[in-house]
Amino acid sequence: MTELVFRTPTLQDSDKLSDLITQLGYPITPELMRKRLETYLASNCNYAILAISDDNVVGLASFTIIDCFHMDRKFARITSLVVDEHQRNHGIGKALIKHAEKIINSAGCTSIEVSSNINRAASGTHDFYSSAGYNDVRAEIVYFRKTTT
């Protein structure tokens, strides 16, 4: 693997992004991925970064910067992180996180959140985030969710 290059995705990346998001466990067609990407790229608070190796997309990180209304602070939430299943365990995920953190820090965020399904612990995902410096804060915070129609 050559050195990684990072860039913002374009609509021409929709097929590969569809494949990556499907590998993450959220099946999506290239057409729907293109529509989501159009919306995402038009936003001023959502970001996506591709990791490129040998002219191939090998990973994706996306995050949202949230400007708190009730406090004078901003924080970021990583909304997806995935490395192509054929490229895992080569440091791409950690490189994506570090690159995202540079952007997040330059935006003035004071913290970064990431959530991971409890079922992903067995695959090492939780250990990955811990090794990247993220702390399990389940004892500090409770999230509530309501499904809407």
Whether 141 is covered by a domain: the verdict is: no
> pLDDT grade, residue 112 (50/70/90)?
very high
Note whether residue 147 is domain-resident: no
Comparison of pLDDT for 131 and 123, the residue scoring more:
131
Backbone angles phi, psi at 105, to 5 degrees: -65, -40
Residue 22 CA neighbour count, 13 Å, CB half: 12
Q: Is residue 149 part of a domain?
A: no
pTM score, whole prediction: 0.88
Q: Which domain holds residue 18?
A: 5-131
Structurally, the chain folds into a number of domains equal to 1
CATH number at residue 119: 3.40.630.30
According to the model, what pLDDT value does residue 1 have? 59
The pLDDT value recorded for residue 49 is: 97
Q: Is residue 11 situated within a structural domain?
A: yes
Higher pLDDT pick, 125 / 18 = 18
Is 2 a residue whose pLDDT tops 80?
no
Extract the tokens encoding 102.
Answer: 């540079």
**What is the per-residue pLDDT for 66?**
94
